[in-house]
Amino acid sequence: MTSTLIIGATGLLGSEMAKASARNGDNLHVLVRPATSSNEERMRPLKDLGAAVHVGDLDDYDSLVRAVGKVDRVISSVHVGSASEMTLVRAVRDAGVSRYVPSAGFGLDFAAAAPGTIQPLDIKRAVFDAVRQADLPYTVIYTNGFFSTWVATLGDLTRFGSSPLPPDEVTLYGAGNVPATFVSEKDIAAVTMRALEDPNAVRSEIRIAQNKITQSAMIELWRRVSGRSPHVKQMSAEELETMIAAAPGLGLLRAFWIRGETALETATPEAGALYPELKFESIESAFVAMAGAV
């Protein structure tokens, strides 16, 4: 039986990875921080999946080597700084695994996104460079926009974490006519599990470019499905640049809604074409579920 370690298994993406791994019949392992391990509510879903729990931290090399050394495959689904990611890369290299899926890929395709324009993406790019330099048996999955981050906010990243979602007020960036692509965390996990079984996906990159839609069309779809009419404020590209200058992480808004970098065609193979048997959740079906939960 193949053993798989999920790092970040209590998060939105990591929990879907854990469930998909268990459905796949893997011997599931998870790495959690000491504080998380004592939180019964957060640990219960993982225990219900029969996961072997390893307590450690991404800044603790020894704990990483102990956990990674117990498994065949490692999936990192956490959002951390470059120093922590580099520690994990070193641990994966020293322990030796048959496949490594770094969190560096869960975002924009590096072939489409302009270097030096999005601070978090530049950190991920540096981590991926380290993965390749270490000659690890990696598979990188480029996801573009998560449903939980982008669809639930109607494309307005600044609303993430607010209530209610989808929001009653949303900012429309630019003319609202630039397409972007989006995928649910459940489908990201399905693509990842399929790629882990694909010998041709070793030392390769795969992009998910499903659900292409403009921000204006997304807002209108939500109106139609939910019957709610959020107030829309418009922000020009120039105004957005001023906001990004103060908060560089918001450069993602430029990439999605001004430059359209998530919808650009690249040489990176697309998951739907590689694995046509996979079915992807639509934005409309996600909106139906959100409307029912309101």
| pLDDT string in tens for the chain (294-residue length) | 899 999 999 999 999 999 999 999 999 999 999 999 999 999 999 999 999 999 999 989 999 999 999 999 999 998 765 567 889 999 999 999 999 999 988 999 999 988 888 877 888 888 899 999 999 999 999 999 999 999 999 999 999 999 999 999 999 999 999 999 999 999 999 999 999 999 999 999 999 999 999 999 999 999 999 999 999 999 999 999 999 999 988 999 999 999 999 999 999 999 999 999 999 999 999 999 999 876
Pairwise CA distance, residues 7 & 14, whole Å: 7
Q: How far apart are the two ends of the chain, measured CA to CA in Å?
A: 42
* The pLDDT of residue 163: 92
3-state SS assignment for residue 227: coil
DSSP 172: E
Per the structure block, which two tokens stand in for 78?
């956490």
- Give the type of residue at 185: E
Calculate ∠ Cα 265-267-269, nearest 5°. 95
Alpha-carbon distance of 223 to 4, in angstroms, equals 41
CATH code at 147-181+211-264+277-293: 3.90.25.10
Positive or negative: CA dihedral 9, 11, 17, 19:
positive
Nearest-angstrom CA–CA distance, 62 and 58: 10
The sign one gets for the Cα dihedral 36, 39, 45, 46 is: positive
Question: Phi/psi at 262 (nearest 5 deg)?
Answer: -75, -20
- H or E stretch covering 186: helix 185-196
Domain with CATH 3.90.25.10 in the chain: 147-181+211-264+277-293
Helix, strand or coil, per DSSP, at residue 12: helix
Instruction: Report pLDDT for 198.
Output: 98
| Tokens describing residue 73 | 């495959």
Look up the CATH number of domain 3-144+183-207: 3.40.50.720
Closest CA to 181 of 112, 97, 275, 120: 112
Report residue 54 as tokens.
Answer: 């390893």
Antiparallel, parallel or unpaired: β 145-146 and 213-214: unpaired
Paired sense of beta strands 27-32 and 52-55, if any: parallel
Domain with CATH 3.40.50.720 in the chain: 3-144+183-207
